[in-house]
Amino acid sequence: MSLSESFDTIVSTRRAVRKFHETDYNPDAVTQSLRRAQLAPSSSNMQLWEFYRVSKSEDLAELSTICMGQNTTATAKEAIVVVARPDLWRKRADANQENVKRVHGDRPGFRGQSALAYYGNLVPKLYNNDFLGIRGLIKKIYVTYVGWKKPMVREVTGGDIRIVVHKSAALAAQTFMLSMVAEGHDTCPVEGFDSVRLKRFLNLPAKAEVNMVITCGKRIPEGIYGERFRVPASEVVFNK
């Protein structure tokens, strides 16, 4: 099978599974898939995500209650909670800077210096936002002004950065779900949960945000709720 055929099989096999097999399950599939999820691209390579494995039966029961007792959480053999951590930006920027120093050595050339400046100056300007949003407002006025004359990134407020971080977390989540199929397992992405209770359950700090819960297991036939439906490509794919 060609790579493209394999990928087609993986993408078409992945379904949102709402009922899992009671016993057939291998947690190694999750271990492998979490390893692959961490290879997903992330904005500025900041990797502002975390993955919490929930596998004890009493924890799964509590998680299911937090997810309003949905079938997929009630029957899951394990669940991954994907968490966005915009608050860890400084730590991750430092890690990237250390990596640049490791790669480029004591005398970084132009590319190394640009990367150091990127993580040392630009990233803090973007990610360092105050509670009241005053810095974000000033940045917005600035980019609007500069943007009159030349192309400019407009997403600079604290709210914009939350979206940036969630986007990257969701890419890791999708990488995880496709990998689970490659490992002969199934998943369902879940955003129907009580985020306040879920953060308390995982002991997360105030600024962490749950991106999604992913239930894991192996499907049983009743776990697929009908044929796949997608709106026609003509409604979503456009040629400019």
Ligand X SMILES: Cc1cc2nc3c(=O)[nH]c(=O)nc-3n(C[C@H](O)[C@H](O)[C@H](O)COP(=O)(O)O)c2cc1C
Return residues touching ligand X (CB under 6 A): 15-16, 18, 70, 72, 188-192, 212, 228
Which is nearer to ligand X, 198 or 212 (by Cβ)? 212
Q: What is the dihedral of CA 179, 182, 187, 188, to 10 degrees?
A: 70
Torsions phi, psi for 107 (to 5 deg): -120, 80
Least Cα distance to 212 among 184, 175, 157 occurs for 175
Determine the straight-line distance between the first and last CA of the chain, rounded to whole angstroms.
34
Cβ nearer to ligand X, comparing 18 with 185: 18
How many CB atoms are closer than 10 A to CB 91?
12
Q: How many CB atoms lie within 10 A of CB 164?
A: 20
CB nearer to ligand X: give 67 or 123.
67
Q: How far is the CB of 76 from ligand X (least distance, A)?
A: 11
- DSSP secondary structure code for residue 206 in this structure: T
Looking at beta carbons only, is 62 or 122 nearer to ligand X? Answer: 62
CB of 93 to ligand X, least distance (A): 28
Nearer to ligand X, 156 or 165 (CB): 165
- Burial class from Cβ neighbours inside 10 Å (0-12, 13-18, 19+) for residue 209 reads middle
Q: Output the residue with the shortest Cβ distance to ligand X.
A: 192
Contact 112, 104 (CB under 8 A): yes
Nearest distance from residue 120's CB to ligand X, in Å?
Answer: 34
Q: Which strand (E) or helix (H) includes residue 209? A: strand 209-217
- For residue 190, the minimal CB distance to ligand X (Å) is 4
CB of 103 to ligand X, least distance (A): 35
Q: How near is the Cβ of 214 to ligand X at its closest, in Å?
A: 10
Alpha-carbon distance 16 to 230, whole Å? 14
Residue 52 CB, nearest distance to ligand X (Å)? Answer: 17
Residue number, 15 or 101, with CB nearest to ligand X: 15
Closer residue to ligand X, CB minimum distance, 140 or 197 = 197
Give the H or E element holding residue 78: strand 78-84
- Residue given tokens 């966005």 in the structure block: 84
